[in-house]
């Protein structure tokens, strides 16, 4: 019998992280893919949160100039479409940044409206986006698609003013929005 739905490895890994970060919250995945990868349920408060998950392999060692390696943990490549973000019913999008040098995946957790506004500021209203998220060794995340090598180097060396729409650092492993949506009292320590 052919399975009618299989969770992919990236979603499975993010789901495992959700179970760890949000103890007591039930994690559900849909039988049919309609845009949400997970439904999170806090039965005690009758609260739900839906998430869309995107995970990238690490492109640092295979596609990045070696001059950038001392500054970066990983670099991910994502190709969301504008229409998918616009029509998204998910409460949050989670981008998983996998690093070959670190066992823990890092997550960008962002509301789709905020994500789309930032993409519009960076790239304009493009129908298909090409997005590079780079995670520095100082745990800062930048969207770097379209930057010159010179500008990229200046940002990594701390010698440039970073346009705020390119700085995704405040969304890095930030579970607070999901905690509020699920009416959870405190962040786990």
CB 118 within 8 A of CB 143: yes
CB 22 within 8 A of CB 178: yes
Indicate whether 1 belongs to any domain.
no
CA distance 120 to 88: 16
Sorting pLDDT into bands at 50, 70 and 90, what band is 40? very high
CA distance 52 to 39: 9
In degrees rounded to 5, what are phi and psi of residue 125?
-80, 65
CA distance 47 to 40: 8
If you write DSSP's letter for every residue of 59-98 in order, what string do you get? -HHHHS-GGGGGGEEEEEEE--BHHHHHH---SEEEEEE-
CA distance 99 to 57: 7
Indicate whether 115 belongs to any domain.
yes
The number of domains in the chain is: 1
Q: Identify the residue with better confidence: 15 or 31.
A: 15
Over residues 118-129, the pLDDT tens digits come to: 999 999 988 899
If you write DSSP's letter for every residue of 97-134 in order, what string do you get? E--TT-SSPEEEEE-HHHHHHHHHHHH-S-SB--EEEE
Indicate whether 175 belongs to any domain.
yes
Q: Output DSSP code: residue 22.
A: S
Q: Output DSSP code: residue 48.
A: E
pLDDT, position 187: 53
The residue count of the chain comes to 189
Indicate whether 141 belongs to any domain.
yes
The answer, yes or no, to whether residue 67 has pLDDT greater than 90, is no
β pairing state of 92-97 and 38-42: unpaired
Average confidence (pLDDT) over 26-46: 89
Sorting pLDDT into bands at 50, 70 and 90, what band is 60? confident
Kindly compute the dihedral angle of the four CA atoms of residues 175, 181, 96, 188, in this order, to the nearest 10 degrees: 30
Indicate whether 22 belongs to any domain.
yes
The answer, yes or no, to whether residue 3 has pLDDT greater than 60, is no
Over residues 16-32, the pLDDT tens digits come to: 999 999 999 999 988 77
Sorting pLDDT into bands at 50, 70 and 90, what band is 139? very high
Q: Output DSSP code: residue 170.
A: G
Indicate whether 121 belongs to any domain.
yes
- Owning domain of residue 35: 9-181
Indicate whether 188 belongs to any domain.
no
């Amino acid at each position: 019998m052919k399975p009618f739905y299989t969770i992919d490895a990236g979603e499975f890994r993010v789901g495992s992280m959700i179970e760890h970060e949000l103890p007591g919250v039930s994690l559900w995945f849909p039988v049919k893919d309609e845009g949400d990868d997970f439904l999170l349920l806090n039965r005690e408060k009758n609260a739900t949160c839906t998430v869309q998950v995107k995970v990238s392999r690490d492109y640092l060692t295979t596609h990045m100039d070696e001059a950038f390696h001392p500054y970066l943990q990983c670099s991910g490549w994502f190709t969301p479409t504008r229409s998918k973000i616009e029509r998204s019913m998910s409460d949050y999008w989670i981008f998983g940044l996998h690093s070959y040098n670190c066992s823990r995946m890092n997550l960008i957790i962002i509301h789709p409206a905020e994500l789309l506004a930032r993409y519009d500021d960076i790239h304009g209203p493009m129908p298909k986006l090409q997005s590079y998220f780079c995670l520095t060794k100082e745990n800062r995340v930048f969207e770097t698609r379209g930057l010159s090598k010179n500008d990229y180097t200046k940002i990594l060396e701390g010698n440039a003013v970073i346009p705020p729409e390119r700085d995704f650092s405040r969304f890095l492993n930030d579970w607070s929005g999901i905690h509020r949506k699920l009416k959870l009292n405190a962040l786990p320590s």
